[in-house]
């Protein structure tokens, strides 16, 4: 906070003190203050300023230089701002700095942008595996990978960090539009987000769409968890579970980068748009009861094995699970001894849940559970392997 010094309070015998006696009032600055002055003279090594007609300020050496161009080619009469380094030097002049003044003004602008949510320009100067080093208003900052826009986010199969770094380094020298999301001058901390700026500019476009809308777009990236599709300068995600009705292990088997696809919007969360391709296809599980029945023997090809069973494709669109308990009458220690991927085998259908898209299979012939009743005797359930005729419980034993 600036203080007012009256001439009668000045007991200073210094040059500044004598000058202050010539003025009735003067807003006395403190070290670190940003003040205005008028250029008296300027060359490459020194600049002299008139500070309120009271004292001369001097900027010299490295303090003359600033990353911006605002202090170049100064002429007498130009009004500029400088930071106070020392109130009075050995020559009775105020020591000032353009270098610090530039930083202070830049931080003021950055804080204003953060408060008002304004979009700024960031120049990419370097990259590491976590993100991009940037300069915003000649102030160093950081743009995390997670804050990149959909266009620049490095979607690398398997999340290979070295490959991600290669992609990020390709942005060095470019300029991105960003928003300030965290700025602390005292800590020299500046975090920016390209995604937030992108969301701001795309807000009106996103608002045009609603859940249920159909879109046509181009596949921009394929990952282990799904497919990214660009449309109307937006980008949506088709999760692996929304590509097709059947089980999918590798999305590359269904779509390719650059391919044009149709999809339906199934979710919108801020700038995140979720799409589905399978919603535009008939559910092959509808009417399954007309094609298959429990107890029916079918041929199937093993498409995947895991410790709890075999995933089996019984036609182009329907897959079922043969649980480990349904693979043999005896305990199974090693599933690979029962069957391998690509192998065709005969299975029995033991359960069907079309609405849940579940089909249970077995290598062993299922035992039919029948209810038996004899007049005057209690009903009991018994298992019959080869026949469907009703047998009283005591005979079944």
At 66 the pLDDT is: 66
Q: Choose among 43, 40, 44, 138: nearest CA to 94.
A: 40
pLDDT band at residue 267, thresholds of 50, 70 and 90?
Answer: very high
Rounded Cα gap, residues 216 and 15, in angstroms: 76
For residue 67, the SS3 value is coil
Mean pLDDT computed over 239-267:
91
Which DSSP symbol is given to 148? S
CA-CA distance, 206 to 236, in Å (whole number)?
11
Pick from 177, 155, 178: nearest CA to 168:
155
Residues in Cβ contact with 383 at an 8 Å cutoff, skipping those fewer than 6 apart: 367, 368, 369, 370
- List pLDDT tens digits, range 346-390: 999 999 998 888 999 999 887 755 443 444 444 333 333 333 333
Q: What percent of the chain has pLDDT over 70?
A: 84
Ramachandran angles phi, psi of 278, nearest 5°: -70, -20
Q: What is the CB-side half-sphere exposure of residue 300 using CA atoms within 13 A?
A: 28
On whether the CB atoms of residues 323 and 308 are closer than 8 A, the answer is yes
Cβ neighbors of 10 (< 8 A, separation 6 or more) are: 17, 20, 21
Does residue 64 carry a pLDDT above 90?
no
């Amino acid at each position: 906070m600036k203080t007012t010094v009256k001439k009668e309070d000045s007991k200073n015998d210094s040059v500044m003190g004598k000058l202050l006696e010539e003025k009735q009032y003067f807003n006395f600055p403190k070290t670190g203050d940003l003040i205005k002055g008028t250029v008296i003279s300027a060359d490459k090594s020194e600049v002299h300023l008139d500070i309120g007609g009271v004292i001369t300020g001097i900027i010299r050496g490295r303090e003359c230089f600033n990353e911006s161009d605002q202090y170049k080619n100064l002429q007498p009469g130009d009004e500029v701002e400088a930071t106070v380094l020392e109130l009075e030097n050995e020559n009775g002049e105020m020591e000032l700095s353009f270098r610090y003044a530039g930083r202070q003004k830049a931080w003021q602008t950055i804080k204003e942008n953060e408060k008002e949510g304004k979009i700024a320009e960031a120049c990419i100067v370097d990259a590491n595996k976590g993100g991009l080093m940037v300069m915003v208003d000649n102030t160093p900052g950081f743009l995390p990978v997670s804050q990149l826009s959909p266009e620049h986010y490095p979607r690398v199969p398997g999340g290979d960090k070295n490959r991600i770094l290669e992609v990020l380094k390709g942005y060095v020298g470019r300029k991105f539009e960003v928003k300030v999301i965290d700025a602390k001058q005292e800590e020299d901390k500046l975090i920016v987000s390209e995604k937030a700026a992108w969301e701001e500019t795309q807000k009106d476009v996103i608002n045009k769409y609603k859940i249920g809308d159909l879109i046509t777009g181009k596949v921009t990236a394929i990952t282990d968890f799904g497919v990214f599709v660009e449309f109307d300068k937006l980008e949506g995600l088709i999760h692996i579970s929304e590509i097709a009705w059947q089980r999918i292990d590798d999305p590359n088997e269904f779509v390719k980068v650059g391919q044009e696809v149709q999809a339906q919007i199934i979710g919108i969360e801020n700038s995140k748009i979720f799409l589905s391709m399978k919603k535009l296809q008939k559910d092959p599980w509808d009417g399954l009861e007309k094609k298959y029945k429990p107890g029916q023997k079918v041929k199937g090809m093993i498409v995947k094995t895991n410790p709890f069973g075999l995933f089996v494709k019984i036609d182009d669109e329907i897959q079922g699970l043969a649980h480990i308990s349904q693979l043999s009458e005896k305990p199974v220690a090693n599933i690979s001894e029962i069957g391998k991927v690509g192998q065709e085998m005969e299975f029995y259908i033991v359960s069907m849940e079309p609405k849940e898209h579940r089909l249970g299979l077995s290598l062993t012939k299922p035992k039919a559970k029948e209810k038996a009743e004899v007049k005057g005797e209690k009903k009991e359930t018994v298992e019959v392997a080869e026949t469907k005729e009703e047998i009283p419980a005591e005979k079944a034993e």
